[in-house]
A and B are shown apart, each in its own frame.
Chain A
Amino acid sequence: MQVRISDDALAIACGADRVAQRFTELGHAVVRTSSWGMHWLEPLVELDGIGYGPVGPGDVDAIMAGTADHLRIGAIADHPFLASQTRLTFARAGRTRPLSLEDYADTGGWLGLHTAREIGGEAIVDMLKASGLRGRGGAGFPAGIKWDTVRLARGHRKYIVCNADEGDSGTFADRMLMEGDPFCLIEGMAIAGLAVGAGKGFVYIRSEYPHAIAKMRAAALLAAPLIAPFEIEIRVGAGAYVCGEETSLLNSLEGKRGEVRAKPPLPAIEGLFGCPTVVNNVLTLAAVPFVLAEGAQAYAEYGMGRSRGTMPIQLAGNIRYGGLYETAFGVTLGQLVNDIGGGTASGRPVRAVQVGGPLGAYFPPALFDTPFDYEAFTAVDGLIGHGGITVFDDSVDMAAQARFAFEFCAIESCGKCTPCRIGAVRGKETIDKLISGDSVASNLALVSDLCETMKFGSLCALGGFTPYPVMSAITHFPEDFGPERQAAE
Chain B
Amino acid sequence: METGSDIAEIVGAHADCEGPLLPILHDVQARFGWVSEASIAQIAAALNLSRAEVSGVVSFYHDFRRTPDPRPVIRLCRAESCQARGSEPLAAAAATLAGERIRIEAVYCLGLCSAGPAAMIGGDVHARLDSERIAALMAVL
> Does A58 interact with chain B (Cβ within 8 Å)?
no
Interface size on B, residues (CB 8 A): 41
Min CB gap B120→A, angstroms: 7
Contact B84 A408 (CB under 8 A): no
Contact B108 A317 (CB under 8 A): no
> Does A456 interact with chain B (Cβ within 8 Å)?
no
Q: Which of B77, B80, B128 contacts A390 (CB 8 A)?
A: B80
The interface residues of chain B lying within 8 Å CB-to-CB of A399 are: none
Binds B, one of A137-145, A254-262, A432-440: A254-262
Chain A interface size, under 10 / 10 to 19 / 20 to 34 / 35 or more:
35 or more
> Does A266 interact with chain B (Cβ within 8 Å)?
no
Measured CB to CB, the nearest residue on chain B to A250 is B19
Given A235-B23, A255-B19: A9 and B84 interface contact (C-beta under 8 Å): no
Measured CB to CB, the nearest residue on chain B to A207 is B63
The interface residues of chain A lying within 8 Å CB-to-CB of B123 are: 210
Contact A316 B57 (CB under 8 A): no
The interface residues of chain A lying within 8 Å CB-to-CB of B113 are: 169-172, 314, 316-317, 322, 388, 390
The interface residues of chain A lying within 8 Å CB-to-CB of B23 are: 235-236
Given A391-B84, A404-B80: A175 and B111 interface contact (C-beta under 8 Å): yes
Contact B85 A14 (CB under 8 A): no
A172, B111: Cα distance in complex, Å: 5
Contact B19 A254 (CB under 8 A): yes
Min CB gap A230→B, angstroms: 15
Min CB gap A41→B, angstroms: 11
Contact B127 A14 (CB under 8 A): yes
Among A386-409, those with CB < 8 Å from B are 388, 390-393, 396, 401, 404, 408
> Does A148 interact with chain B (Cβ within 8 Å)?
no
Min CB gap B118→A, angstroms: 6
Measured CB to CB, the nearest residue on chain B to A236 is B26
Of B47, B57, B108, B109, chain A has the most CB atoms within 10 Å of the CB of B109
A259, B59: Cα distance in complex, Å: 12
A171, B113: Cα distance in complex, Å: 7
Given A169-B79, A358-B80: A255 and B20 interface contact (C-beta under 8 Å): yes
Contact A258 B109 (CB under 8 A): no
Q: Which of B61, B84, B115 contacts A258 (CB 8 A)?
A: B61
> Does B76 interact with chain A (Cβ within 8 Å)?
no
Interface contact tally, CB-CB below 8 A: 153
> Does A42 interact with chain B (Cβ within 8 Å)?
yes
Given A13-B127, A210-B123: A255 and B111 interface contact (C-beta under 8 Å): no
Min CB gap B82→A, angstroms: 7
> Does B22 interact with chain A (Cβ within 8 Å)?
yes
Q: Which of B25, B84, B116, B120 contacts A208 (CB 8 A)?
A: B120
Binds B, one of A83-91, A117-125, A185-193, A237-245: A237-245
A253, B60: Cα distance in complex, Å: 14
Contact B22 A208 (CB under 8 A): no
Given A172-B114, A208-B110: A238 and B84 interface contact (C-beta under 8 Å): no
The interface residues of chain A lying within 8 Å CB-to-CB of B109 are: 166-169, 171, 208
Given A238-B62, A256-B57, A257-B56: A14 and B128 interface contact (C-beta under 8 Å): yes
A301, B68: Cα distance in complex, Å: 56
Measured CB to CB, the nearest residue on chain B to A239 is B62
> Does A412 interact with chain B (Cβ within 8 Å)?
yes
> Does B18 interact with chain A (Cβ within 8 Å)?
yes
Contact B80 A345 (CB under 8 A): no
Measured CB to CB, the nearest residue on chain B to A253 is B19
Contact A10 B62 (CB under 8 A): no
Given A13-B112, A239-B61: A170 and B22 interface contact (C-beta under 8 Å): no
Contact A317 B120 (CB under 8 A): no
The interface residues of chain A lying within 8 Å CB-to-CB of B111 are: 9-10, 166, 171-172, 174-175, 208-209
The interface residues of chain B lying within 8 Å CB-to-CB of A175 are: 111
Contact B64 A238 (CB under 8 A): yes
Among A121-160, those with CB < 8 Å from B are none
Measured CB to CB, the nearest residue on chain B to A344 is B84
The interface residues of chain A lying within 8 Å CB-to-CB of B84 are: 317-318, 390-393, 396
Among B91-141, those with CB < 8 Å from A are 107-116, 118, 120, 123, 125-128
Which residues on B are within 8 Å of A, measured CB to CB? 18-23, 25-26, 47, 56-57, 60-64, 77, 79-85, 107-116, 118, 120, 123, 125-128
A sample of 27 cross-chain residue pairs with beta-carbon separation below 8 angstroms, ordered by A number, consists of A9-B125, A10-B114, A10-B127, A12-B125, A13-B110, A13-B128, A14-B128, A167-B109, A169-B77, A171-B111, A210-B123, A236-B22, A236-B26, A238-B22, A239-B62, A239-B107, A253-B19, A253-B22, A255-B20, A259-B60, A316-B113, A318-B84, A319-B114, A358-B108, A390-B80, A391-B84, A414-B60
Which residues on A are within 8 Å of B, measured CB to CB? 9-10, 12-14, 39-40, 42, 166-172, 174-175, 207-211, 235-241, 252-259, 273, 314-319, 322-323, 345, 354, 358, 388, 390-393, 396, 401, 404, 408, 411-412, 414
Other than the given A175-B111, A210-B120, A210-B125, 19 more pairs (CB < 8 A) read: A9-B125, A10-B111, A10-B114, A10-B125, A13-B125, A13-B126, A39-B115, A166-B109, A172-B113, A174-B111, A237-B61, A238-B63, A256-B57, A257-B60, A314-B113, A317-B114, A358-B79, A388-B113, A391-B84
